[in-house]
Amino acid sequence: MRAVIMNAPGQVSVVDRPDPRIEEPTDAIIRLAATCVCGSDLWPYRGANDVHDAPMGHEYVGYVEEVGSAVTTVKPGDFVVGSFMASDNTCEICRAGYQSRCVQVHGMGGIGTQAEYARIPLADGTLVATPDRPDADLVPSYLAASDVLGTGWFAAVAADVKPGSTVAVVGDGAVGLLGVLAAKELGAERIIAMSRHADRQSLAREFGATDIVAERGKEGVAAIKEMTGGLGAHSVIEAVGTQESMMQAVRSTRPGGHVGFVGVSHGVELPGDKLFYSTIHLHGGPAPVRRFLPDLMDRIARRTIDPGKVFDLTLPLEQAADAYRAMDERTAIKVLLQP
C-alpha cells in the first residue's frame, strides 16, 4: 500500500509499505476513506521532536475490511470512526471516561493512518460504526470527529462550559475552532475567539464565536478582562501548547473558573505560585475522544454541526508533502488527504 513517511523534520514522502494484517484477535483492518494532517504532526515537522522515517497520521475514517476472531461490534463493510488512541473501553479508566489513558492504550501514531489501509488495535473498544454508509459530504465531518472535533469538545468539557458561560478560546487552529463549535453546542452565551487571521476569525464566527480578540499575551488577557467586568472568562480553552498560550489561558480565567488545555505541551513550566493564587481549575491532556464519539457522530448524522468545515484544502494522499507544507505555512487550516 501507499503510505506517508516523515523521513526527517521538514521531509515528508509517500512510499510503499506492506499492507497491514490482523496481528491480534482484537484487531480490525480498515480501508481509509479519508485521513488528514494534524497540528501535532507539525511538532516533529518543525524539529521539536526527533523523527526518522516514521509512519505518520493518527486520524481516520474508513471501511472495515477484515476483523480478528474476537471482534464482535464491527464487521467488514461498516463505515467506522475511531480515535487517535485505541482503547479497550472496558477498563476502570475507560469506564470513567478517560479512554486516552486506557490501561491497554495503543497510540495510533506508531501505526500511521496517512495510508491506504490501517490496522486498528482493540477494534471493539476503539471503533464506532455509523448505522449506514454516510453521505459523501459528511465524510470530512466524521474525520474531524476522529481527533480535532473530539479534542475541541473535550477541551470545552474540561473547561466546564455550561449554558450561559463566557468562554475564551486561545488558539485558532482546527482544535481551537472546534472548541468554539463545542462551546456553542454546550450552550455558552459568549464565545471569544483569540485569533489574528481573517480566515480563521471568519470560521470562528461561523462556528459560534460572538467576539474576536486579536491581541495576545498581556494585551490579550487585558482585552478578555475588559470584556468580562474585570473578572476573566468562566471557561478558557487552550489549544496551542506553548508557555505563552498556557499563561494567557490561566490569566484570562476568573477565580474559580476553568482552563481546559489540549495543546500538546512543549517546553511549558507552570509557576506554582501563579497557579495557586489564580484559584482556577486546570484539566486537559490527550483527549479521550472515544467518550464523545457516539454523541458527536449522532450530531453529524443529524447535520446539527458541520465540523468538516475546518478542512479548507483537500489533496490526494500522494501530495502529502504539499499538505504538510500548507499547514506549516498556515495557508491551510487543515488538509484532508484522499487515499
Q: Which residues bind its own copies (CB under 8 A)?
A: 92-93, 96-98, 100-101, 103, 229-231, 241, 243, 246, 254-256, 261, 264-273, 275-286, 288
Kindly state the DSSP code that residue 115 receives in the 8-state scheme.
Answer: B
Nearer residue to its own copies within complex by CB, 1 or 275: 275
Burial of 285 (0-12, 13-18, 19+ CB in 10 A): middle
Nearer residue to its own copies within complex by CB, 2 or 101: 101
Nearer residue to its own copies within complex by CB, 264 or 313: 264
Give the shortest CB-87-to-its own copies separation in angstroms. 11
Burial of 66 (0-12, 13-18, 19+ CB in 10 A): middle
Give the shortest CB-40-to-its own copies separation in angstroms. 12
- Nearest to residue 105, comparing CAs of 289, 260, 296, 295? 289
Distance, CA of 152 to CA of 303 (rounded, Å): 18
Please answer whether residues 209 and 216 qualify as being in contact, where contact means their C-beta atoms are separated by less than 8 angstroms. no
Give the shortest CB-235-to-its own copies separation in angstroms. 12
Give the shortest CB-86-to-its own copies separation in angstroms. 15
Classify residue 260 as left (phi > 0), alpha (psi -120 to 50) or beta: beta
Nearer residue to its own copies within complex by CB, 190 or 283: 283
Classify residue 241 as left (phi > 0), alpha (psi -120 to 50) or beta: left
Distance, CA of 113 to CA of 268 (rounded, Å): 29
Containing 334, the helix (H) or strand (E) segment is strand 334-338
Give the shortest CB-271-to-its own copies separation in angstroms. 6
Nearer residue to its own copies within complex by CB, 20 or 179: 179
Nearer residue to its own copies within complex by CB, 80 or 94: 94
Distance, CA of 63 to CA of 75 (rounded, Å): 9
Dihedral of alpha carbons 87, 92, 94, 100, sign: negative
Give the shortest CB-328-to-its own copies separation in angstroms. 22
Nearer residue to its own copies within complex by CB, 93 or 222: 93
Give the shortest CB-317-to-its own copies separation in angstroms. 30
Nearer residue to its own copies within complex by CB, 1 or 91: 91
CB atoms within 10 A of CB 72: 10
- Residue 237 pairs in a beta bridge with 169, 260
All residues at 6 or more sequence positions from 11 whose CB lies less than 8 Å from its CB, including other chains: none
HSE, side-chain direction, 13 A CA sphere, residue 68:
17
Give the shortest CB-330-to-its own copies separation in angstroms. 23
